């Protein structure tokens, strides 16, 4: 895909949604860490239902430690892998207290060192909480980047590198939100909603699809 197409795609997505945000509900950076940790292999909607049960009285690492693994399990048992996630969430809270004074660090290495926190989670926190230009490549971003030919790659690391390289600088801060939302609601895994797509004209998948469709007429 040429740079002009990429620029038009992100400019169009920007006009359609000028201030994109994560759909996870949180009140501070610590709650964001927990919400993203819980979201692995689970929908944001399901995570929000679970966190509404305990976020009103758990908004610091110390409060999470005081809650404990067993009680946290009771609050999040409706989401997948809840036992392991509860263990990691409490362990992450302990590490924040022991190593960072109870504050979420604006540092990739420190974030990735937290139990249950990988590169994708760190990218979300760095972007959402600290305004860093990062790409959290989840299944939606991976699909959209490959399908549209924005930044095709065989794995999430390759896609992330290409997105960071090829995304116009003025769109970097919000780009991963646009791609996540686009993949979640429009460029879905099965039967993408091309007729509703605001970037249809510049999408290379749509162009190939249009050619195929026309060839069958």
138, 173, 202, 213: the active-site residue? 138
Closest CA to 65 of 30, 21, 108: 30
The residue whose two tokens read 């305990």 is 54
Please tell me the distance from the alpha carbon of residue 146 to that of residue 103, in angstroms, as a whole number. 36
5, 85, 120, 202: the active-site residue? 120
Active site residue 120: yes
Measured between alpha carbons, how far is residue 101 from residues 37, 59, 97 in Å? 20, 15, 5
Q: Is 217 exposed, middle or buried (0-12, 13-18, 19+ CB in 10 A)?
A: exposed
Which residues are known catalytic residues? 120, 138
């Amino acid at each position: 895909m040429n740079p002009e197409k990429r620029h038009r795609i992100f400019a169009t997505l920007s006009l359609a949604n000028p201030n994109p945000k994560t759909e996870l509900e949180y009140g501070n950076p610590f709650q964001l860490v927990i919400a993203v940790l819980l979201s692995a292999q689970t929908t944001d909607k399901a995570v929000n239902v679970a966190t509404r049960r305990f976020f009103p009285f758990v908004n610091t690492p110390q409060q999470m430690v005081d809650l404990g693994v067993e009680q946290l399990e009771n609050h999040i048992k409706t989401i997948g892998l809840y036992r392991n996630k509860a263990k990691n969430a409490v362990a992450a809270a302990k590490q924040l207290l022991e190593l960072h004074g109870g504050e979420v660090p604006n540092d990739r290495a420190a974030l990735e060192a937290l139990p249950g926190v990988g590169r994708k989670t760190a990218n979300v926190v760095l972007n959402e909480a600290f305004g860093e230009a990062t790409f959290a490549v989840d299944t939606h971003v991976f699909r959209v980047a490959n399908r549209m030919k924005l930044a095709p790659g065989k794995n999430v690391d390759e896609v992330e590198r290409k997105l960071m390289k090829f995304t116009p600088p003025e769109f970097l801060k919000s780009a991963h939100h646009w791609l996540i939302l686009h993949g979640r609601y429009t460029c879905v895994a099965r039967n993408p909603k091309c007729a509703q797509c605001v970037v249809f004209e510049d999408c290379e998948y749509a162009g190939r699809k249009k050619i195929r469709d026309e060839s069958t007429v």
